[in-house]
Amino acid sequence: MTKPKEDDSNKKLATNRKAFHDYFIEDKQEAGIVLLGTEVKSIKQGNVSLLGSYASVEKGQVMLHATNVSSYDCGSRNNHDPLRKRRLLLHASEIRKLAQKIDQKGYTLIPLSIYTKRGMIKVEIGLCKGKREYDKRETLKRKTADKETRREMQRRV
């Protein structure tokens, strides 16, 4: 009997864990991304960092800034620039809605994760509002309390 082939169609390649710590995520949106050939290969190897990256609406297009896609190891001298701006692919109506929400004070677009979906590389962006220091402490307290209650429930079972 043969094993079924493992499904790589939805594989997470990178996650921005710091975004969940520093921001309240109000809304999430899936977007395609315009990449060069060596960038695709490098991202699929996992050579991407979302730390410190953000997105903005410029001239009716959503651009991804400060996302570090390392150079492809087997690439030639024609490799891509690791920190270049990359265009995100969204419908015009979605871009208009995001632009209206970003214009409100305190909101920003942050990439939350990069993953593959049916062979295509997708970016999950979140409409985020920054947390204050006391919000971060409150979140940490709540997480530790939840962890302790789960631990107690496991001991009783």
Task: Provide the 10 A C-beta neighbour count for residue 42.
Answer: 23
- Tell me what pLDDT residue 1 has: 45
- Tell me what pLDDT residue 7 has: 54
Pull the structure tokens for residue 69. 């896609």
pLDDT averaged per 10 residues in sequence order, the chain, 157 residues: 55 91 92 90 89 93 93 74 91 94 89 93 94 84 92 86
Exposure b/e, 27-40, CB count within 10 A at least 16 = b: eebebebebbebbb
CA gap 89, 80 in Å, rounded? 20
**Can you give the pTM of this predicted structure?**
0.79
- Tell me what pLDDT residue 127 has: 94
88 near 125, Cβ under 8 Å? Answer: yes
CA gap 68, 46 in Å, rounded? 11
For the chain, where are the E strands, in sequence order? 12-15, 23-33, 48-49, 54-58, 61-65, 68-69, 86-89, 107-117, 120-130
- Tell me what pLDDT residue 150 has: 92
Domain residue ranges of the chain, discontinuous segments joined by +? 12-131
- Tell me what pLDDT residue 9 has: 66
Class of domain 12-131: mainly beta
- Tell me what pLDDT residue 116 has: 93
